[in-house]
Every structure is written in structure tokens, then in C-alpha cells.
């Protein structure tokens, strides 16, 4: 979901017809396919891999664990070196992956990026330039996107439904004082966050709400808006995430002085995944492979890997390991290293893609934000607002972010009855945002459950980099759950930084 809705749209005419009045019941009688993808099911393969037959030892220079943005970026930086990358899933990208339905491809996670100021990290910008993703605008001092067809026009960027009633933005009227309060940090909150000056890192020691209250009280309408946006970006509310994360959200780009391009292909950030894959040797990157165990020896590292495609285990000897996978896996793979990460909090997310068999009559907006009593529901993204030269279907991608203590709710998605209840609840909420029900248009529903989708940047979390205190010099860490904000640019930089260490 998009984040920074301070700049008002020029017209209120889009409100016509979007009354939210239908709001009713979703029919249990409609027939459609529901497909569920769960990272919990994938993680449970850890307990199955150890029973596969074991092959002989092979040798390589480096092993990369995890095929998300960080792992792929690390591989891209290693270039011609001898390495192998292993990803457990059946697709690349992690939380930036996509799904297909016929000819349609759509996001099942992170789904957009914004243009980059010239003071962002040179390493990640350089990689994106080499991938032919961005180009520098010397007049505006911005790195813009090359493929302009994927930019979202300002006129259809978003609409907000506050308790079911449409309005132009998430933030309430009269937010100028809040912006003035954050003004001193404009231009001083770069990405990656490791570049943030030490004098501003004090903001990492308090919550965002606490910091705002040092200036004034937090009115309820403003608190609701801030909490929505923090939940949307960081997986929790302003009373949980750090002040640095909150300030960074609003001041990391020149939103208030110039146009910042919003880039959102139909497949979301899987677009960047494919760009990275295009420069990697296919014989060195492997899906359906799980790292079972890592053992540090005198002469290097031995890694045991299960290949589920052929039903065999392999032992691989290497000099270095870049661990770019989910750090919870260390609990089973290399327990001595897990203790550094056992205090990291993760947000559970559920993404539901509703594939409609034809196009709905309502006007489309890219982001459709929801402010209501259903605080776990953030709204949906509409594929009709994205560039697609041959659109056959319309895809509505709904996002739910659950509290940490409700992660257990995701296990129910593995039951067909419960997954249909999730789909029905989401459809009821979607119907409240359209003038006509969508029930009879649904052809298929894809559900992705991510029990540990992103690290929550609570006070004290940022800048705690496991690479600064490595128990084994041979093993380095990448990924946003290594003291980073849960953002694409951070993941990219973390992979590059880890690869440079070996």
C-alpha cells in the first residue's frame, strides 16, 4: 500500500459513484478456485529434508541462503565468482514474489517503489543503474525509472475510505503543523539507513508516538492516520515502531517540494526480482532447495542442502556463507547464531488476490485505503490502474496485517473451510468500497500467508548489525531482519554489503 498521502489531489470528482453503500454480504454459493501459499508449510520442510538420501561432497567458493531481494543482490555483486544460491520456495523474491493466473501476473507482496534522491547509497543505485532500471535526472537530482509506462499517474494514485466513506487522503485536514515538526529531517534520512548521521540515531531509542508528544498532543484523527501508515509500511502502529522509522517514513524523499515518481508494475516488486535474475547464471541458482545444516570447520564451512526436486541431499564445502534467508531458520540450521536475532519481532501478513473475470464498472484507483474498525485490513491495490498492454482480467489485491500475538490465525488458512471464510470476509470488505458487488465476477482467489513477513522496527532495532559482531568470520548476514527497515532499497543494499565482506 502507498504511504505518504499529504499532497491533495486536484479534484474531488472521483467520489461520484463510490458511496460504499452496497457493503453487504458475500455469497457463500459462488464457485471459484482458492489457492493458498503459506510460508509455514515451506518452513516445515526443515523436518523432512534430513531423511533424504545423501550424495557425495561438492566444492564451491560461497553459498547464499535465500532467494529474496537480498540474496539475489548478493549474487549479482559476486558476479563471476564460484557460488551457489539456494531458495526453499518454488519462486524467487520472498516477500516480493508474484503469482500467475493464465496470462495475468500480479504481486503477492511488496508492489511498488519510489524514485531515489541523489543522496541515497551509491552501491544500490549503481546496481539498479547496471540493471537498466533507473536513470539520473541531473536537474532534479533524482534517480527516476526508465520504464515510464509503469508509473502511476497522480490523478488515480489513491482513495481513502474512512469508516466506509470515501475521501481524498489518509491524513486529516490541517496536518501542516505535523509537517513543520518533521521539517528539520528533510534530506537527512537517506537509504540505506546505515548512512543516517549518528546525531539522528537517538530517534531509534523511543517510539514514534512518544517523539510526537514531545512537541504536542496527538489528536485522535492524526493518530489514526499515522497508525495506518506505520502499519502499512512497518507492520505495527506508532506506539510500537521507533521514532526514527516514523520520521524516516515522512522525510526520506522530497515529497513536499517536487514530484516523486511512483513505480508499480502489475507484478509488483517481482519486476526487480526478474531484473536481478536476468544477470545471474541459471546453473548457480536453485529453487526447491533447503539448507538443513551449516557446520563451521577448520578448513571452511560444510553446508547440507536438500534438493526436493530430485529427492536428494548434498554436502557442499565452501569458504563463506551469506545467510540472506529468514533468520528464524538459524534456530534449526545453526543455533549458535540464532541468539543474536531472537529478539526480532515480525509482522504477520495475508495477501489475497481476487481475479475478476471481467472489468468492474467503477472507476479504478491504484491504492484503495481502509480506515475502519477492521484495523487488520489495509485496503487493496487495483490492477486496472496499472499498465498492462493486454489486460484480460482485473485483479484486486487485498492486504491484511495482523498483530504479532494473532499469528496463529494464519494456520487456519491451510484448512479449505477457513480459507474460504478469509476470502468471504475480504470480499465483504471489498464490496464496501465499490458501488456494485464483485461477488459474481470472481473467477479465482489466491491467498499468500506470511507468518513472519517483515521485521518490525521497534526502538533499538535499527543499526544492530550481526556483521559487526560475527561469531564466525566465514558467515555473513543479509536481509532486512538484520537491523534494517523492511524496504526494498534496504534489502538490496544489505545483499551488496554482505557480499563485499567475503
Give a yes or no: residue 338 inside a domain: yes
Q: Let me know whether 290 and 311 are in one domain.
A: yes
What is the spatial distance between Cα 202 and Cα 204, in angstroms, rounded to a whole number? Answer: 5
**CA–CA distance from 274 to each of 68, 72, 92, 387, 470 (Å)?**
11, 10, 9, 17, 32
Phi, psi torsion values for 151, nearest 5 degrees: -75, 140
Q: Copy the grid coordinates of residue 330.
A: 538459524
Give the residue from 100, 46, 50, 106 showing the smallest Cα distance to 326: 46
Indicate whether 188 and 205 sit together in one domain.
yes
Q: 196-200 long-range CB contacts below 8 Å, 24 or more apart?
A: 196/244, 196/248, 200/244
Report the pLDDT value the prediction gives residue 391, as an integer from 0 to 100. 79
Q: Work out the end-to-end distance of the chain between its first and last CA atoms, rounded to an integer number of angstroms.
A: 36
Residues 359 and 490 in one domain: no
Q: 149 and 254: one domain? A: yes
404 belongs to a structural domain? yes
Domain that holds residue 438: 13-38+345-455
Q: Is 86 found in the same domain as 189?
A: no
| Residues 319, 409 share a domain | no
Pick the last residue of a domain from 224, 244, 261: 261
CB neighbour list of residue 266: distance below 8 Å, 6 or more residues apart: 104, 105, 106, 107, 383, 386, 387, 388, 395
Q: Do 74 and 496 form a contact (C-beta atoms < 8 A)?
A: yes
Within a domain: 70? yes
pLDDT tens string for the chain (502 positions)? 444 443 332 223 333 333 344 444 444 456 788 999 876 655 555 555 566 777 878 999 999 999 999 999 999 999 999 999 999 999 999 999 999 999 899 999 999 999 999 999 999 999 999 999 999 999 999 999 999 999 999 999 999 999 889 998 899 877 778 888 999 999 999 999 999 999 999 999 999 999 999 988 889 999 999 999 999 999 999 999 999 999 999 999 999 999 999 999 999 999 999 999 999 999 999 999 999 999 999 889 999 999 988 889 999 999 999 999 999 999 999 999 999 999 999 999 999 999 998 766 677 899 999 999 999 999 999 999 999 887 789 999 999 999 999 999 998 888 999 999 999 999 999 999 998 899 999 999 999 999 999 999 999 999 999 999 999 999 999 999 999 999 999 999 999 999 999 9
Determine, yes or no, domain membership for 5. Answer: no
Would you state the cell numbers that stand for residue 394, as one nine-digit string? 482485473
CATH code, domain carrying 237: 1.10.405.10
**Does residue 328 share a domain with residue 257?**
no
Give the span between the Cα atoms of 130 and 68, in whole angstroms: 19
List the one residue out of 209, 210, 188, 182 whose CA is nearest residue 200.
Answer: 188
- Residue identified by cell 499532497 is 7
For residue 469, CA distances in Å to 337, 477, 499 come to: 11, 11, 16
> pTM for this one?
0.92
Burial 111-120 (b: 16+ CB within 10 A, else e): bbbbbbbeeb
Output 55-58 pairs: Cβ under 8 A, ≥24 positions apart. 55/312, 55/313, 55/314, 55/315, 56/315, 57/302, 57/315, 57/316, 57/317, 58/314, 58/315, 58/316, 58/317
Classify residue 166: in a domain, yes or no: no
> What separation in angstroms does the CA of 396 have from each of 73, 179, 249, 311, 399?
30, 32, 25, 37, 10
- The CATH number for 476's domain is 3.50.50.60
Rounded Cα–Cα distance for residues 190 and 208 (Å): 18
Residue 387 lies in a domain: yes
The C-alpha angle with vertex 289 and arms to 288 and 292, in degrees rounded to 5, equals 140
Peptide bond into 502 cis (omega under 30): no
Using only the alpha carbons of the chain, give its radius of gyration: 22
Coil, strand or helix at 469: helix
What's the length of the chain?
A: 502
Examine the fold and report which residue of 261, 279, 311 is the final residue of a domain before the chain moves on.
Answer: 261
Q: Which of 449, 447, 442, 412 shows the shortest CA–CA distance to 28? A: 442
Among 237, 261, 285, which residue terminates a domain?
A: 261
Cα-to-chain-centroid distance, residue 40:
17
Q: Are residues 139 and 241 in the same domain?
A: yes
CB 108 within 8 A of CB 91: no
Distances (CA, A) of 191 to 139, 490, 498: 21, 7, 16
Does residue 146 sit in the same domain as residue 251?
yes
Identify whether residues 314 and 288 lie together within a single domain.
Answer: yes
- The pLDDT of residue 1 is 45
Strand order in the sheet with 377-382: 33-38, 442-455, 346-356, 394-401, 377-382, 367-371, 158-162, 165-167
Q: What is the CATH number of the domain that holds 27?
A: 3.90.660
Is residue 162 situated within a structural domain? no
Do 84 and 70 share a domain, yes or no?
A: yes
* Residues 311, 339 share a domain: yes
Does residue 434 sit within a domain? Answer: yes
- Residues 375 and 372: their CA atoms lie apart, in Å, by 6
Q: How many domains does the chain have?
A: 3
Amino acid at each position: 500500500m502507498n504511504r505518504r498521502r499529504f499532497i491533495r489531489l486536484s479534484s474531488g470528482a472521483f467520489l461520484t459513484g463510490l458511496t460504499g453503500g452496497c457493503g453487504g454480504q458475500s455469497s457463500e454459493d459462488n464457485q471459484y478456485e482458492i489457492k493458498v501459499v503459506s510460508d509455514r508449510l515451506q518452513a516445515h520442510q526443515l523436518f523432512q529434508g534430513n531423511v533424504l538420501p545423501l550424495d557425495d561432497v561438492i566444492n564451491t567458493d560461497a553459498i547464499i541462503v535465500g532467494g529474496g531481494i537480498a540474496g539475489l543482490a548478493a549474487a549479482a555483486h559476486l558476479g563471476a565468482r564460484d557460488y551457489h544460491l539456494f531458495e526453499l520456495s518454488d519462486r524467487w523474491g520472498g516477500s516480493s514474489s508474484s503469482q500467475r493466473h493464465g496470462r495475468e501476473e500480479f504481486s503477492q507482496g511488496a508492489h511498488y517503489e519510489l524514485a531515489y534522491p541523489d543522496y541515497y547509497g551509491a552501491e544500490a543505485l549503481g546496481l539498479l543503474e547496471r540493471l537498466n532500471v533507473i536513470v539520473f535526472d541531473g536537474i532534479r537530482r533524482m534517480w527516476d525509472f526508465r520504464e515510464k509506462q509503469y508509473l502511476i499517474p497522480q490523478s488515480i494514485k489513491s482513495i481513502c475510505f474512512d469508516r466506509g466513506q470515501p475521501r481524498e487522503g489518509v491524513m486529516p485536514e490541517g496536518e501542516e503543523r505535523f509537517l513543520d515538526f518533521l521539517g528539520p529531517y528533510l534530506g537527512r534520512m537517506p537509504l540505506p539507513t546505515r548512512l543516517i548521521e549518528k546525531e539522528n540515531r537517538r530517534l531509534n531509542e523511543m517510539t514514534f508516538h512518544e517523539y510526537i508528544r514531545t512537541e504536542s498532543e496527538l489528536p485522535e484523527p492524526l493518530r489514526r492516520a499515522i497508525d495506518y501508515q506505520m502499519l502499512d509500511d512497518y507492520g505495527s502502529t506508532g506506539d510500537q515502531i521507533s521514532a526514527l522509522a516514523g520520521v524516516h517514513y515522512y522525510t526520506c524523499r522530497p515529497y513536499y517540494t517536487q514530484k516523486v515518481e511512483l513505480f508499480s508494475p502489475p507484478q509488483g516488486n517481482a519486476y526487480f526480482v526478474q531484473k536481478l535474475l536476468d544477470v545471474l547464471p541459471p546453473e548457480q541458482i536453485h529453487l526447491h532447495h533447503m539448507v538443513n545444516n551449516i557446520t563451521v570447520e577448520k578448513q571452511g564451512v560444510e553446508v547440507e542442502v536438500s534438493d526436493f526436486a530430485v529427492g536428494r541431499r548434498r554436502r557442499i564445502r565452501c569458504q563463506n556463507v551469506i545467510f540472506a534467508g529468514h533468520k528464524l531458520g538459524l534456530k534449526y540450521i545453526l543455533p549458535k547464531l540464532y541468539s543474536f536475532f531472537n529478539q526480532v519481532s515480525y509482522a504477520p501478513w495475508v495477501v489475497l488476490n481476487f481475479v475478476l473475470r471481467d472489468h468492474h464498472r467503477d472507476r479504478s484507483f491504484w491504492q484503495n485505503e481502509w480506515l475502519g474498525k477492521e484495523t487488520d485490513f489495509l485496503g487493496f491495490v487495483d490492477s486496472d490502474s496499472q499498465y498492462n498492454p493486454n489486460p484480460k482480467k482485473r485483479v484486486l489485491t487485498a492486504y491484511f496485517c495482523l498483530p504479532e500475538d494473532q499469528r496463529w490465525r494464519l494456520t487456519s488458512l491451510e484448512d479449505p473451510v477457513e480459507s474460504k471464510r478469509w476470502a468471504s470476509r475480504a470480499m465483504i470488505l471489498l464490496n464496501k468500497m465499490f458501488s456494485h458487488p464483485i461477488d459474481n465476477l470472481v473467477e479465482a482467489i489466491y491467498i499468500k500467508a506470511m507468518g513472519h513477513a517483515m521485521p518490525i522496527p521497534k526502538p533499538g532495532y535499527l543499526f544492530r548489525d550481526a556483521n559487526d559482531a560475527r561469531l564466525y568470520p566465514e558467515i555473513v548476514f543479509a536481509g532486512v531482519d538484520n537491523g534494517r527497515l523492511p524496504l526494498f532499497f534496504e534489502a538490496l543494499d544489505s545483499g551488496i554489503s554482505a557480499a563485499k565482506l567475503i
